[in-house]
Amino acid sequence: MTSRTDRRRLALPLASLVLLSAAAVGAPWIVSVPPNAIPTDGIIASMPPSLAHPFGTDSLGRDVLSRVLHGARISLAIALLSVALSTSLGAAYGAFAGWIGGRVDTVCMRLLDVALSVPRLLVLLVVAALWGALPNGSLVLLLGLTGWYDVARLVRGDVRALREREFVLAARATGVREARILLRHVVPHVWPTLVVTATLAVAHTIALEAGLSFLGLGVQPPQASWGTILADGFTPGGARWWLTVFPGVAIVTVVLACNALGDALREALSPRQVAA
């Protein structure tokens, strides 16, 4: 049951995400300059925005608009894929622990406590230190493998609560197979949690990937990602604003849209909606 205000709160963030994704997919057709093209005739230096380069150029004279749009493809792809991975992992782990219950559940949760107390960024830093620059595929894997703990915990809580509910007990009592109960009763109840946490996780992962790339440990130059453009613009003498503002605004737009969408979804999908 989505009311009008709910729909309005969903529409704006969704629209901005769709728009940005479209711009990312259509990047090669929107801008004519390739993201890594270093001018052969022009100036190999960072210039402020002009008609030829609406977002300016970076320190190698590359077009920032093109880099931001092409960077969107990489940043969005990495975030979406790794969140898909972490959400499935977390859902599987949480559902397993919650459904089995008992000692298995206790052990699973203690392990999760350990995992949750190791700050994720530090794990990423260690891996970066040990293996050096990672290809984007490994980056997706790494972000996915370190991002599933919260989902697992939430799903486990949901599943545990469901296990005790009458309709599940009734299904069990009438001899319905476990797999079928999981599919028919548990999955429909858990998916709102998954949708909301996945949306918020995309926001978080976009920011995290940008941060890693900013530190030089994520997407590797010369590839354009929002983090690498920011890193290029960040020099001790003060940033050139167009290198900070444009990719930064792109990041914030996605993160903000995902957070707002997550909030709105949580309210729209919440089972205990209060009638006004």
Partner 1 sequence: MSASESGASRRWRALRRILQALFVVWGAATAAFILLRLAPGDPYATQIDELPIPAEARAAWRAERALDAPLATQYVRWLGNVARGNLGWSTLAERPVADVLVNVLPRTLALMGIALLTSLAGGMLLGAWQGTRAGSTGDQAVSATTLVLYSLPEFWLAMLLLQLFAHGLDWLPATGLVSADYDYLPFRAQVRDRLAHFVLPWLTLSLLGVSVFARFQRSSMLEAWREPFVRTARAKGLAERGVRWHAWRTSLVPVLGVAGLVFPSLVSGAVFVERVFAWPGMGYTTVQAVGARDYEFVTAAVVTGSAMTVIGSLLVDGLLRLADPRVRA
Q: Which residues bind partner 1 (CB under 8 A)?
A: 110-111, 113-123, 125-132, 203, 207, 210-211, 214-217, 230, 234, 236, 238-239, 241, 244, 248, 251-252, 255-256, 259-260, 263
Cα–Cα separations (whole angstroms), residue 184 to 164, 167, 179: 15, 11, 9
DSSP H or E stretch at residue 51: none
Report which residue type is found at 22: A
Using DSSP's 3-state secondary structure scheme, residue 26 falls into coil
Closest distance to partner 1 from the beta carbon of 253 (Å): 9
Calpha distance 174→188 (Å, rounded): 20
Calpha distance 246→112 (Å, rounded): 38
> By C-alpha distance, which of 224, 229, 178 is closest to 78?
224
Contact between 128 and 134 (Cβ < 8 Å)? yes
Closest distance to partner 1 from the beta carbon of 163 (Å): 24
Residue 88 vs 253, nearer CB to partner 1: 253
Phi, psi angles (nearest 5°) of residue 32: -85, -25
Residue 95 vs 255, nearer CB to partner 1: 255
Calpha distance 9→261 (Å, rounded): 7
Residue 181 vs 197, nearer CB to partner 1: 197
Residue 167 vs 241, nearer CB to partner 1: 241
Residue 80 vs 109, nearer CB to partner 1: 109
Phi, psi angles (nearest 5°) of residue 30: -80, -45
Q: Which two tokens stand for residue 25?
A: 């997919």
Cα 54 to chain centroid, rounded: 28
Closest distance to partner 1 from the beta carbon of 242 (Å): 12
Closest distance to partner 1 from the beta carbon of 119 (Å): 4
CA torsion sign for 256, 257, 262, 264 is positive
Residue 31 vs 217, nearer CB to partner 1: 217
Residue 77 vs 267, nearer CB to partner 1: 267
Closest distance to partner 1 from the beta carbon of 256 (Å): 4
Closest distance to partner 1 from the beta carbon of 52 (Å): 25
Residue 59 vs 183, nearer CB to partner 1: 59
Closest distance to partner 1 from the beta carbon of 238 (Å): 4
Calpha distance 80→208 (Å, rounded): 13
Closest distance to partner 1 from the beta carbon of 232 (Å): 12
Calpha distance 120→146 (Å, rounded): 7
- Beta-carbon-side half-sphere exposure of residue 181 (alpha carbons within 13 Å): 20
